[in-house]
Every structure is written in structure tokens, then in C-alpha cells.
Structure 1
């Protein structure tokens, strides 16, 4: 290969690497602050009060009709990483306010309940005045319920109760399920563990037909796992 050809190939290779680098940098480039501000304003009908760029992302403080919020926005994707309601506008009347968003209610719940809370449902209840959100959550071995004013975000009710441990069904209940599958008389019933699953093993005799059955039932759900017949 001639020297001139080698130089041309070297230049083309270097140019390709530069192009790939430029495209990669552009793809990973942080969002413009104006774009982030516009996104927050449009999404929450908000007025921006403070805006800064932190190590974790854009820190935005904004006001809505319901209160003041502090939120952290991913600088690449624009995803809301954190949101905290820092001040509630209690002086506003319901007619002047808009309903809080579900993610705002989730943020209020997480700030109200200390610990690793697992929110299972958030439902808007329009009966009564004013409307409120009902939040069901779990915390350790407890089940909790919050009622949060849908306009102001104030917590109207907070209850926690120990969750009753799940118990297997009784032998009588398991026998009834087995007999509905194969009529006869229960000759034997045992509560056993099968591959980590708690089951009832039930033997049923039927003298009229001469066909007996061994039935395995899930001890919690009542599901019939298997049926084996003996002539």
C-alpha cells in the first residue's frame, strides 16, 4: 500500500472517531435549563421560584395553587427524581385551587410516614366536602391508610394496624374442597410441605364406586394441585 493511501485511510479513520465522539456527547448532553423550566411549568401549571444545577440534577422550587414544591429533575432524561411539598397554601379556597396530582399525594404520604413505605393504591374520593385522596400503604408488618385533602394536601386521617398473619385453611375447609372434587369419606388428611409449598394431602374412600382418590390441595388458596385415583 502506498504512503498516500495510508495517509488517506488514517485521516478517514480519525474523522470517523471524531464524528462518533461528537454524536455520543450530543446524545448524553444535559437538558437546557430553559427546557427543564418549561417542562415543570407546563406539567404542574407552576411558577418557578428558584432554579439551580446540582450534582444530582436540576433543583427546581416552584409554586402552584396548592403550595410550594421542591423537585429534582434528571439532567439527561428530564425524569422527576424527587418531589417534596414544602409549604401548603391553606388560605386558598377550593374554588381557587386545582386538585393535587397523584405523584404529589405520593410525595405527601412518603413525607408523612417515616420508614420504607410501600404505597399500594391512591384513589380520589369525591363524596363529601372537600374531596380527598385515600391512600393505602404497607409499612413493615403494618397496613396503613391516609386521607389527604385533595386541594390543600393536609392529612385528615392517619391509621396504622398490624397485618394479621396469613393462616392456612382448616382441615374441615380442605376436606370440603376435596369432597367436591371426589365424593366419598375422608380417610386421612395431613398438612405437609411440598417444595416450599404448604399443602393438604387428603385420602378419600368411596365404597359405593370402589374408586378412592388422593388429592393434594394448596393450604392457603384451596387450589387443587393434583388428583390420583386408585381402583
Structure 2
């Protein structure tokens, strides 16, 4: 279901349809977390995901109905105020995610089953990047500087968070934030090679992060623990093979 929704996300030429499929992509992950999550805290992580989705969705709808009521194009190429650009970007930044909108991601990954974590990292987060690419036409030099600063801060802060994680899934989640912050910096560069590099990094992250969560899941199924302390000897002994 998630793959079908992700495919339909790229099909419509109407902003509302794009938004609808963008939001629908969240529900299969919610079902997997609530139905197959292994810990009781999965309900709390679902609340975080719904709260952040709603917090970033309503401003997006407000700006759309205020400014683009008669416009059906998905790709924006207009001169907008920085407030409107920020609100439009906010929805996609939540699923990027940038560091300051990231709290739902480690919680969702930690409580989700391995399959849900792989789909979340490999597909769902890439929709935020694809949506942000569609509004790049209305970003000015000032907007780019704002996102570059936020992405740089996100890389530094998420890297520090990685140093203090004992859960391997939480470590992988914060490392994803670091990688996607680097993707954001590449995308907002003025030159085309930066955007091309950002897209390549996005695709590479989808592949590597999916494999990372698969390995963490295999470690958990064999050992019954996700502690980072025990993982070096586990992979060194070749127990997966």
C-alpha cells in the first residue's frame, strides 16, 4: 500500500492531490507501528508522528488556500514572501526531516518493527525530499541561506546526539538526520550540480539506511538486544552469515 501511495504522489498535477497522497503515506507506517510494534511505548511514538504531521500540515493548507486557490500546478515558481516559503517548506521538512522537526523520527524507528523502519527510511522520508524539490522554484537567495544554516546546525547537533545513543535503532535514526541535512544543503545550492548531487545522495541514503535498519533488525532477532556496545563483536563474528 505504501509503495502505491508513493507512486501516486508523483502522478497528480494538482497540489491538493499531491498533499493528500503525501499524508496518506503516513498511515501504513502508523498501522505497522501500532499493530506490530514490540513495545508499549509504540502508542506514544504514534502520537508524536500524528502531532508533527498535523502541526506542519495546517499551515500548508492555510497558505495554499490563501495564495494558490486557482492554481493547479504542482511545481511552484512564484515570488513569495519568506513567511509563505517557510510555511510551504515546513510540511516537507517534517518528513525530511530537519533537526528541529525530528523528534518523531527516533521514536518511530525505535518502536517500529524492522520492516516499518526500512520502509520509513527508504520510502517515506524521500517523499519529503521530492516535495521540497517541487517548491525550489520559489526560493530566493535569502531563503537558501536560511535552509543552509538550519541544515548545518542539524548536521552538527544530530552528530552529537549519535555519540550518546545506546540503542542501535536510535543511532541509525539520528545518523539519517545527519545525512538528510547534508542532502538539504546540496539541494538549496544555486548551481545545478548541487541539486544533482543532492538527488544522488538522497537515493544513496535510501539504499544504505534501509540496509542499516535491516542489519540492526537481524542483530535484535539473534541476540534479543539492540545495544550498540554488543554490536561490534556480533558483526565481527559473522553471526548473520
Please state which band the TM-score falls in when normalised by the shorter chain: under 0.3
Q: How high is the TM-score relative to the length of structure 1?
A: 0.23
Higher relative contact order (CA 8 A, sep 6+): 2
Which one has the bigger helix percentage? 2
Which one has the bigger strand percentage? 1
- Report the structure number with the largest CA radius of gyration: 1
Q: How high is the TM-score relative to the length of structure 2?
A: 0.22
